[in-house]
A = this chain, B = another copy of it.
Amino acid sequence: MINRLCIFGVGLMGGSLALALRRAGQVGEVVGCGRSRANLEEALSCGILDRYEQDPAQAVRGADMVLLAVPLGAMHSVCVAIRDHLAADAVLTDVGSAKGSVVEDVRAAFGTLPTQFVPGHPIAGTEKSGATAAFATLYEKRRVILTPLPETAPQALARVRMMWELTGAVVEETTVTHHDEVLAATSHLPHLLAFGLVDSLAQQGEREEIFRYAAGGFRDFTRIASSDPVMWRDICLANREAILQALAHFEADLHAIKQAVRNEDGHQLLACFQRAKVARDRFCDIVATSPEMGPE
């Protein structure tokens, strides 16, 4: 299906895609490109890559599928480096957690939006990163959201869709704006809150004791605060508007809860907690019964 796949940023996401396509027997050669030679060597030795290049122009030569899996803050410079070297039939896609910023970076780098560009975001991952964290089944039963644009060629979209389906993922399409709003609320905001809470507690005087007393619930609640700080800085900058909107919405609702605590309004607190419990339990039912999500 793919003759030569070129991956920029050979980490958990790109590495796992390569391993899944190899397992499916649907990729000829896999070429990697990235800043860390040590990571590229790792990727070679665990069978993700056939070879690597440190020059982006060399890396994309002859590739019919190019995956941008670098941090959001590096998208623009990679695009500038490859724009004059892409093969005529090359399809370009990415795995960025925010889509609006990637679309703008690609447009700015190429001067106009290439018809062969298909923005994408696999909703998958772990707190680990790097090539050694990659595994072939990462995308099985996970959602991959594609956000094609009016300029996007239907054939390019079809190729990217098929590539992800070969990994076992379920592909959906939505708009760039809608993707960014939903992810701001369900992923970016929770990460901000978890990072913020842990940092807030860590700044306090008796932090050793604070963490020593923290129970299991705290561990679950703050697990995502162990994610890659650079990646999350880039996401905050890239999806700034939608995150600020989601945060403002949440702050207003949190303020109402605070008022209820202050006013000792047990009815309002109970109503809020009951609605949340119903919604959370229903969310778990959706997850448990949807073949496309499955248990984690």
- CB within 8 Å of B: which residues of A? 73, 123-125, 143, 145, 182-183, 185-187, 189-204, 206-207, 209-227, 229-230, 232-234, 236-237, 240, 243-244, 247, 249-251, 253-254, 257-258, 260-262, 264, 266, 269-270, 272-284, 286-287, 290, 296
Contact = CB atoms under 8 A, between A and B. Distances in A.
Contacts of A222: 190, 280, 283
Contacts of A196: 250, 253-254, 257, 272, 276
A141 B4 CA distance: 54
A230 B276 contact: no
Contacts of A199: 253, 272-273, 275-276, 279
Contacts of A236: 260-261, 269
| A interface: dominant SS | helix
A213 B147 CA distance: 14
A123 B225 CA distance: 22
Contacts of A257: 192, 195-196
B186 A190 contact: no
Nearest to A256: B196
A241 B145 CA distance: 44
Contact of A215 (B124, B211, B253, B254): B124
A30 to B, nearest CB: 26
Contact of A182 (B213, B224, B283): B213
Given A217-B190, A218-B190, A276 B244 contact: no
Contacts of A202: 275-276, 278-279
A261 B204 CA distance: 23
Given A193-B197, A199-B279, A215-B123, A229 B270 contact: yes
Given A195-B276, A197-B250, A198-B276, 7 more contacts: A187-B214, A187-B217, A196-B250, A202-B279, A223-B280, A225-B279, A240-B264
Contact of A279 (B198, B212, B264): B198
Given A227-B277, A279-B202, A233 B187 contact: no
